[in-house]
Amino acid sequence: MIPTHFAFASNQAGRMDPTAGLPTAPVRFMLHAARGRRSHFAALWTVILIAASCGIAAQYAMKLIVDTMAQGRHDSAIWHALALFIGLIAAESVFWRLSGWLGCLTVVAVGVDVRLELFDYVSGHSPEYVARHSSGALGGRITATAGAAGALVATLTWKIAPPCVDFVGAAVVLLTVQPWMAAVLSLFVMLVAAIIVVFGRRGRGVHQAYAAEASRVNGELIDAMGGLWTLQAFSARRREYERVSARIAAEAQAQRRSWLYLEKARVLHDLCLWVMAGTMMVWALRGWQAGVNTPGDVVVVSALSFRILHGSRDLALALIESTQQLGVIREMLQVVAVPRQPAERAGAPPFRPVRGAIRLRNVSFSYGDGTQVFRHFDLDVPAGQRVGIVGPSGSGKTTLLGLLQRLQDVQGGEVLIDGQNVAEVTLDSLRSAIAVVPQEISLLHRTIRENLVYGRPDACESEVRQAARAAHCEEFIRELPQGYDTVVGERGARLSGGQRQRVGIARAMLKNAPILLLDEATSALDSTSERKIQMALGRLVRGRTVIAVAHRLSTVAAFDRVLVLVDGKIVEDGAPDRLRHAGGLYQRLWAAQSLGQETA
């Protein structure tokens, strides 16, 4: 019975430290992947070595049979030689089948490890990085790399290791025939291998270009399928077809170049091996004519020459295929194996939430394109205070929420929560103490229940339903086909914008974190739903520190304090009632919204 856990269990012991980076060279990456499966590879290659050795020894047993027959002997010697031959053939078969079983476990296990580790590493990148590289293309790279890693292990195991064992074994056997023949064979095989390796390295760019084009096509297809509504609504099917067609044509051209390069390597290898096999056979027959070699020597030279001929052909092709597979891995590493930002410091302690006091001291922050958001920015939010943030677009409101979650690192100053610098604690522990309701709610393609408990998987059924009622979700959940077990579709496509928003609010309620961040949390709701949600939020915010970015000023009208941000600076700070009569920007915004509501 096959122990499937041996093959498929994730390699927790070899899992990468979150503060470390991925190896950036393909060979080092493969060594890292194999390091956690030492026992797999030790057992597999031991079996491969025994199986290939049995095959070579069987050729020597055939030499003994032929020599015994040539001597005209009719005693038991020939039967002993035959028994040895049959036994070695049987042993070779048994060990090859055993290698197939072990190989199944090893190749699949390495593929699982690689896929999980890449997912773990990519999921630590910032949302900005994922948006820049396309989530679809990144997912395709992970799958392609896992496939290439598994194929590389299989290639090394069955196409590279056996010919190498055959070559060593043939050299040993030929030493018993003619030492010079073994020396010449060794030199010839090493020369052919060197030529093929050099030829393969020259084709590295061709194979890498094909891997890059394949990733682009995968990203284009996923992007088009994800934007299917837009494609149909703007009658863009023909345009998208032509766009995808051009991408696929570029990929096909790159694939043809990669394939034809392999064919050139095959031709070169066949010419070299044709010369080698012919030379060895002529040499053996000349030795037989001169009385130096026995008929068995000629047979074993013939058998070994053809074995090395076919084995080295597999070896040469495997070396070229390996460059293709390494090209896929190299292309992935160039995109994925970059330092994660923000980076988690080695040995960082976990964040220990107290009451949720927030302080920003002398903070300066700019985006990668040089856009300055904050310069020497200061802010103190006592624990339990409810703070609304308003202001024009681009003033830094959402950026401020991102800095509190440490989605980006500040270039100057520090962000403190409960007196702890967010840059000096582990990211997961920090974010577990913060509940967020973003403007665009992103739901997973799972059931409503699974989305609700995502921030708190151990929540019981009564707590889930209580949060759903508090966020006014039950009224539409009851109308769904499977209720709480209804799958919401990709990014929650089966729900309306307002329904998604309420699920997001219920999810934050259920998380029960000491700090609550709201980024336009009621933007997708109508006035009636907004009033219901504000009542629910009123219960949610009790005893918590709340920072809410709001376009609708009514959302923060009952808060303790409102900040008005303009160009990364606090231009007004005070209670909402006071700011409504202070003659500043907040009063003008309030008047404009009130006038708009009356007009509506």
DSSP code string of 417-486: ETTEEGGGS-HHHHHHTEEEE-SS----SSBHHHHHTTT-TT--HHHHHHHHHHTT-HHHHTTSTTGGG-
Closest CA to 276 of 390, 170, 397, 157: 170
User: How long is the chain?
Assistant: 600
Q: How many angstroms separate the CA atoms of 65 and 257, rounded? A: 49
Alpha-carbon torsion, ordered 512, 515, 519, 521, to 10 deg: 30
Token pair 């067609």: residue = 245
Q: Taking the CB of residue 173, how many other CB atoms lie within 10 A of it?
A: 20
Q: Taking the CB of residue 422, how many other CB atoms lie within 10 A of it?
A: 22
Long-range contacts from 192-197, C-beta under 8 angstroms, 24+ separation: 192/269, 192/272, 192/273, 192/276, 192/312, 192/316, 193/312, 193/315, 193/316, 193/319, 195/268, 195/272, 196/265, 196/268, 196/269, 196/316, 196/319, 196/320, 197/319
pLDDT tens, residue order, the chain (600 aa): 334 444 444 454 445 454 456 888 888 888 888 888 888 888 888 898 888 888 877 777 777 777 777 776 666 777 787 888 888 889 888 998 898 888 888 888 888 888 888 888 888 787 777 777 766 677 777 888 888 888 888 888 888 878 777 777 777 776 776 676 667 766 777 777 677 667 766 776 777 777 777 777 877 777 777 667 667 766 777 878 888 888 888 888 888 887 777 777 767 767 777 777 677 667 666 766 666 666 666 667 666 766 766 666 667 667 767 777 887 788 788 888 888 778 888 888 999 988 889 999 999 998 877 788 899 999 999 988 999 999 888 888 888 998 999 988 899 999 999 999 999 998 888 988 888 888 788 888 889 899 888 888 888 888 888 888 888 888 888 888 888 898 888 777 788 877 888 888 888 888 888 899 988 876 656 666 667 667 667 766 777 899 988 887 877 888 889 999 998 899 988 888 898 888 888 888 888 776 545 444
Phi, psi of 382 (to 5 degrees): -65, 155
Q: What is the CA radius of gyration of the chain?
A: 34
For residue 346, the model assigns a pLDDT of 81
Residue 116 amino acid letter: L
Q: Which helix (H) or strand (E) holds 381?
A: strand 372-381
- Residue 273 DSSP symbol: H
Q: How far is CA 184 from the centre of its chain?
A: 47
**All domains of the chain, ordered by start, with CATH?**
22-336 (1.20.1560.10), 358-599 (3.40.50.300)
Phi, psi of 581 (to 5 degrees): -120, 20
Tokens of 205: 């760019």
The verdict on whether omega for the bond into residue 342 sits within 30 degrees of 0, i.e. cis, is yes
Token pair 């508090």: residue = 470
Tokens of 188: 């010839």
Alpha-carbon torsion, ordered 59, 65, 67, 70, to 10 deg: -140
Q: Taking the CB of residue 306, how many other CB atoms lie within 10 A of it?
A: 15
This prediction has a pTM of 0.67
Tokens of 243: 């766009």
Pairing of strands 412-417, 420-421: antiparallel
